[in-house]
Amino acid sequence: MTHPASSPPQRRRRIGLLGGSFNPAHEGHREISLAGLERLGLDVVWWLVSPGNPLKNQDDYAPYEIRLAQARETAGHPDIVVSDFERRQGLQYTADTLERLADLHPDAAFVWLMGADSLAGFHRWKDWRRIAGLVPIAVFNRPGHGEAALKGEAARALAAFRVAPDRAGGLADAEAPAWVFFSDTDNPLSSTAIRNAAP
């Protein structure tokens, strides 16, 4: 007696998450997203435009609708989706956002994307250890930030969970904590520099 072959388990949708104030969005954000799509085998990257970052001066923010519109114009790619999820859900902290997304999308595999400058200050984020335990993290180098990032408190605390870049293709399906550092990305753009250069 033969049995019908069982269907192979369906691969979870791999979603990269790039959070921030996007004040303004720039090519560095786009470059990180495209690298994530390629190197991590992501299906899509969501830009989570934050209503406000508790670690930044709120007086420096452009109005939310302007930041959202600029982000959508900058993204310019069918697999980069700009979202006002945090505003709609009334969320401020990354850990809470990740838990809400996991509840709403149980069949998705999320990866948090960040620049090396964010890793350097990651230990100052609210519940940063909880964040690291919720999703794998991909860190992309930026000029002048790599050494500080890798010597920072968070990188040292999570050193045992770092994976090599040549194994990053499976990061989305890895059990957190797990993180990778891409040393060869080096876009120098920053939102602060762009704002400071504005007339």
What pTM value is reported for the model? 0.88
Asked if the structure places residue 179 within a domain, the reply is: yes
Residue 5 maps to a domain: no
**Contact in structure between 19 and 65 (CB atoms under 8 Å):** no
In a domain, 195, yes or no: no
Q: Would 155 be classed as within a structural domain?
A: yes
Work out how many domains the chain is built from and give that number.
Answer: 1
Instruction: Judge whether residue 1 has pLDDT over 70.
Output: no
62-71: long-range pairs with CB below 8 Å, 24+: 62/23, 62/24, 67/21, 67/22, 67/23, 67/24, 67/25, 68/22, 70/22, 70/24, 70/25, 71/22, 71/24, 71/25, 71/29, 71/47
CATH of the domain at 49: 3.40.50.620
**How confident is residue 40, by pLDDT bands cut at 50, 70 and 90?**
very high
Sequence-distant (≥ 6) Cβ neighbours of residue 28 within 8 angstroms: 115, 142, 187, 188, 189, 190
**pLDDT tens profile 116-166:** 999 999 999 999 999 999 999 999 998 888 999 999 999 999 999 999 999
- Residue 3 maps to a domain: no
Asked whether residue 55 is domain-assigned, the answer is yes
Range of the domain at 125: 13-187
In-domain check, residue 136? yes
Beta strands in 89-133 (DSSP E): 108-115
Could you tell me the two tokens for 99?
Answer: 């838990």
Please report whether residue 2 resides in a domain: no
Give pLDDT, residue 151. 97
Tell me the pLDDT tens digit for each residue of 59-70. Answer: 678 999 999 999
